[in-house]
A = this chain, B = another copy of it.
Amino acid sequence: MAAARVRSGGRPTLEEVAARAGVGRGTASRVINGSPRVSAQTREAVEAAVAELGYVPNRAARALAGNRTDAIALVVPESETRFFAEPYFSDIVRGVGAALADTEMQLLLTLAGNDRERRRLASYLTAHRVDGVLLVSVHADDPLPDLLEQLGMPSVISGRRHAAETLPSVDSDNFEGARAAVDHFISRGRRSIATITGRLDVYGAQRRLDGYRKAIASAGLDPDERLIAPADFSEEGGARAMRELLVRRPDVDAVFAASDVMAAGARQVLRESGRRIPDDVALIGFDDSAVARHMDPPLTSVRQPIEEMGRTMTRVLLQEIANRSEDRAVERPRIVLPTELVVRESS
C-alpha cells in the first residue's frame, strides 16, 4: 500500500508533523488552526516541524472532517459573460481575489447557463459544500437566490433583484450616478435631455431611470416621456433607441445612455444624422469602460467601483459565513457604493 501509489511528493500529514514536533495530533492541529489553547513552547515546536516538513494541510480531509470547505463560489450567468466581457467580469474577480488574498478561502468559478441549470446548481453548490456563494448579475426572476436562501447557504448578491431584496447585497449607486450625469448636462445648459434605458427588469437600469427623472424634475424641466427610450444594453438597441429619439424630439441636445455600449450605438446614429458631439448633442454613458475611453470623442461616463464591489461582496460573504450559526435574525447588509462621473469630451 505504502509505496504502491506513485505520488509526486508524498506530502507530509498532520500525524507526521506531530511526531516530528514530539506532540500529539490534536495539539498539532490546534497550533495549525491558531487555537489559543497551546503553550508558547509547544506552538514553536510545531511551527518548526511544519516549516521543516513543508506541511500544508489537506483540504479534502479538512472539509470532510470539519464539514466546511473554505471555498466560496462565484456564480456567473454564462449567457452573460460576453455581455459583461467588459472590465466588469475581470474587475469583480480582482476584487474578490484581493479580499480573499489573506484568507484560506478558495474561489470556485461557476458558469450557470439557463434557469434549469441554475436550479441544479443549487443542489450542487450545497452538495459540493461551498461555504458561501457570490451571485453576480441576477435577473429579477432568477430562481437561484431564493433557492440558496431556503437552503440556508450564505450568499451575497451584486446589485439587487428589486427594491425589497432579501439577500445581503452590494450595489453601486445607480440612482445618484444617473442623477449626476443629468445634473452635469443641466449645468452645461442642456435642456432637452433624453435617456436611453437598459432592460427595465434589471433593477439597476430602473434606478438609473429613476435618477434621470429625479434630476429632470429637480431642475424644473419638462418631464417629457418622449425623451425616454427603452433599450436592452446592446449597441444595436442603443442605436435603435437613438433613432426613435431623433424622430420624437429632433431638438434633443443631450442623451444619457444607461451603458457605454448603448452610448456607442447612439453615437453612431447621431453621427449619421449629421449631429456633432458634443456641440449639437452631448452624450454620457454608464460603466466607464474601455469603450468610453476610446470612443471618438472620448465619452463622459459614470464609473462604478466594480473592483471594490467585488471586494465588498466578499467581505460581506465572509462575515455571513462567520455568522452562519448565529442568530438568524441578524439583519442583512445592503451596501450601496458611490458612483462617479468621469467627464470627458462628449459632454
A153 / chain B contacts, CB cutoff of 8 Å: 8
Which of B6, B67, B124, B296 lies in contact with A5, CB distance below 8 A? B67
| A15 touches B (CB below 8 Å) | no
Is the beta-carbon distance between B78 and A85 smaller than 8 angstroms?
no
Please determine whether B109 and A59 come into contact, CB atoms closer than 8 angstroms.
no
A106–B128 CA distance with the chains assembled, in angstroms: 10
Interchain CB contact under 8 A, B82 and A85: no
Interface residue A26 (Cβ < 8 Å from any Cβ of B): no
- Chain A 1-32 per-residue mask, 1 if CB under 8 angstroms from chain B, else 0: 00001111101000000000000000000000
Check A111–B94 contact: CB distance below 8 A: yes
Within the complex, the shortest CB–CB distance from A51 to chain B, in Å, comes to: 12
Chain B positions within 8 Å of A85 at CB level: 86-87, 90-91, 290
Interface residues contributed by chain A, number (CB under 8 Å): 56
Asked whether any CB of chain B lies closer than 8 Å to the CB of A294, the reply is yes
Tell me whether A114 is interfacial, beta carbon within 8 Å: no
A81 interface residue (CB < 8 Å to B)? yes
- Whether A97 sits at the interface, judged by CB under 8 Å, is yes
Q: Does B111 lie within 8 Å of A97, measured CB to CB?
A: yes
CA distance A163 to B60 in the complex (A): 38
In the complex, A291 Cα to B40 Cα: how many Å? 58
Chain A 310-343 interface 0/1 with B at a Cβ cutoff of 8 Å (1 = within)? 0000000000000001000000000000000000
Do the beta carbons of B108 and A108 come within 8 Å of each other?
Answer: yes
**A 65-107 binary contact with B (CB < 8 Å = 1; else 0):** 0010100001000100110111101110110010001000011
Are B151 and A9 in contact (CB-based, < 8 A)?
Answer: yes
Chain B CB within 8 A of A56 CB = yes
Interface residues of A (CB under 8 A from B): 5-9, 11, 54, 56-64, 67, 69, 74, 78, 81-82, 84-87, 89-91, 93-94, 97, 101, 106-111, 123-124, 126-129, 151-153, 264, 289-291, 294-296, 325
